[in-house]
Structure 1
Amino acid sequence: MSGTSAREAEPVAIIAGNGRLPFYVAEAAREAGTPPFIIQLSGETGTDWADFEHMEADLGGFQPVVAALQKRGIRKVVLSGGVRTRPELKSLRPTARLIWSLPVIIRKLRSGGDDKVLRMVIDLFERHGFEIIAAQDIAGDLLATAGTLGAVAPDREDRSDIDAAARAAHVIGSMDIGQGAVSLGGRVVALEGAEGTDQMLARVRAMREAGRISRKRRGVLVKLCKPQQDLRADLPSIGPETVRAAAAAGLGGIAVEAGRALVLDRAEAIAEADGAGLFLLGLEPGMN
């Protein structure tokens, strides 16, 4: 896996949430000649970081994180992986610089959607002089490319479902609710919320098994960036597990934005999709 930016040669910290993305970013950074410093978020399913310098920290434990980065002379930070849990208020440990901002931080943690919380985290790091860089700046090979990724292509009905699901994903994204939607027969049947993509697909599978939606028509999952999303954090991502969940839900394919979504374990994901008769499609930017 090769990177795409000269910034990769500089020291970098990776704030690691759940999923496989943090590992791929860490591997890409190391291959670029910069062993990264990993900060595994407590409560998130993480990777075994035994081969990397690392620490564990709560999302609200900003003070020890800043101290650890400053000690190592690190100024570049990558936010990588999903975050399912919000920190308990009693666990908040702001730096002296953030004490007066604590009421705003608490309000956003309590009521903000994922996008607002991520923007807040980015702002907190930037206030301390850190630079947030995107995961794709280090692991650019993960970005989805335009067109059909595997051997299966969408048909006319699939294209209609892509249009419907993309419109729905755009709407819920603008409301900071989620990034994904499922359409079947031109009808939107599921929207992604805080539970995430896999749980949404499990709901689609349950509806199909219960006869709530057609057992004959396939349907499509579309994942898009939120219109207001900062592209340095939380790009939509898919991988082999997404493909397996989509197949179990009886879907015919998955579409994401080229250059604005990540495909993890690309070869395995494509092989899974081809084996299940699903298409994987990179939409040209703006098609939604």
Structure 2
Amino acid sequence: MNSAAVSEKEPIAIIAGNGLLPFYVAKAARDAGHRPFIVQLRGEGGNDWSGFEQMEADIGGFRPVVMALRKRRIEKIVLSGGVNSRPELLSLRPTLSVLASIPAILAKLRSGGDDKVLRMVIALFEKHGFEVVAAQSIAGDLLAEAGALGRHAPDREAEGDIEAAANAARTIGAMDIGQGAVSVGGRVVALESAEGTDQMLQRVAALRKSGRISARRRGVLVKVCKPQQDLRADLPSIGANTVRLAAAAGLSGIAVEAGRSLVLGREETLRAADTAGLFVYGLEPDLRS
């Protein structure tokens, strides 16, 4: 679980999926004096990369990426952002050095969860001689701290929901299914799977509207790392949109693991939570698993 730092002014590649995380990491890298090179995964965009050196690459197209990185003498890589679609088997374009790994690659693409696939991607880059570093080693200010991050804090009922949802999230995480869960009145009502956090919260809002969830009890979203997770990729993250969707679902707050989760656009996110009357809380991580 390497989280090695990157020396100032050292070139670094950011493999950019969807969401805001790649942009925050790239900006933090540039502000710290690094020279970020953006590899935007085709079909997973959304950020404005003007002002950054960049290329677009197919998901699974390792050969052109490796050539571009070696041309720029880049040795370190950050994996950031989500990926909505897995590569089709025919889209893989490996270099000769990884052809022997193709059976294992195909097995993970067919049946592996997100954690297994991310580990496979990290291993492929390492086979090419690159070092994969954690996003938080560059943008450490994104990490959640322990305790209440905004003006509001969980009450006793919310604390019970935090415990129930955290236990559920760790259980599905160990199965490489997802990182989040929602508990209302001590009852787990939603588990995150391939659809992601936003869609899970929309589902909770629909359940609330239909009367399947108590209108009197509010509930909590909890996001935690999978017990087996490599901390160099796919840390749980929340942002202002997470807060808005949690509020629309009638929840009282959001809890994430301190030091192992990211708060994107912290100022906007906490302002949205304060305005909506929601807490954002950093849990002490459970490192027993």
TM-score by length of 1: 0.97
**Secondary structure of 1:36's match?**
strand
Q: Name segments (4+ residues, structure 1) moved above 6 Å.
A: none
State whether residues 7 and 34 of structure 2, in contact with CA within 8 Å, keep that contact through their aligned partners in structure 1.
no
Amino acid at match of 2:144: A
Tell me how far 1:78 sits from its aligned partner: 0.1
List alignment gaps of at least 5 residues for structure 2.
Answer: none
Q: How do 1:123-272 and structure 2 match up within 5 A?
A: 123-272=123-272
Aligned-pair CA distance for 1:8: 4.3
Please tell me whether the aligned partners of residues 16 and 46 of structure 1 are also in contact (alpha carbons under 8 angstroms): no
Q: Helix, strand or coil for the counterpart of 2:181? A: strand
Task: Please give the per-residue CA displacement for 1:21-57, whole angstroms capped at 9, x wherever unaligned.
Answer: 1001101111111220000011113312121110111
Q: For 2:193, give the aligned amino acid.
A: G
Q: Is the 8 A contact 2:77 2:132 kept in 1?
A: yes
Paired with 1:277 and 1:88, the residues of 2 have a C-alpha distance of 44
The CA distance in 2 between the partners of 1:8 and 1:146, in whole Å, is: 29
Contact preservation (8 Å) 1:40, 1:46: no
Tell me the residue number matched to 1:81.
81
Aligned-partner Cα distance in 2 for 1:204–1:14 = 34
**Whole-Å separation in 2 of the counterparts to 1:205 and 1:33:** 43
8 Å CA contact 2:182–2:191 kept in 1: the answer is: yes
Match of 1:13 in 2: 13
Alignment of 1:50 onto 2:50 = yes
Q: CA RMSD in A?
A: 1.3
Q: What is the distance in 2 between the residues matched to 1:274 and 1:209?
A: 24
Runs of at least 5 residues in structure 1 that lack an aligned partner in the other structure = none
Contact 1:225 1:235 in 2 (8 A): yes
Asked if the contact 1:144/1:258 (under 8 Å) is kept, the reply is yes
Contact (CA 8 Å) 2:5, 2:133: kept in 1 or not? no
Q: Is the contact made by 2:166 and 2:224 (CA closer than 8 Å) also made in structure 1?
A: yes
Contact kept? 1:225, 1:260, Cα under 8 Å: yes
3-state DSSP of counterpart to 1:63: helix
Distance 1:114 1:267 in 2: 29
Provide the C-alpha distance between the structure 2 equivalents of 1:7 and 1:187, rounded to a whole number of angstroms. 47
Cα pair 1:76 1:133 within 8 Å, conserved: yes
Query: Partners of 1:285 and 1:227 in 2: how far apart?
Result: 10
Deviation, structure 1 residue 6? 5.0
- Deviation per residue, 1:227-281 (Å, 9 max, x gap): 0000000000001000000000000000001100000011111111111110000
Q: Contact 1:19–1:81 (CA<8 Å) still a contact in 2?
A: yes
* Amino acid corresponding to residue 164 of structure 2 in structure 1: A
Q: How many residues align?
A: 285
SS of residue in 1 equivalent to 2:233:
coil
Q: Percent identity?
A: 72
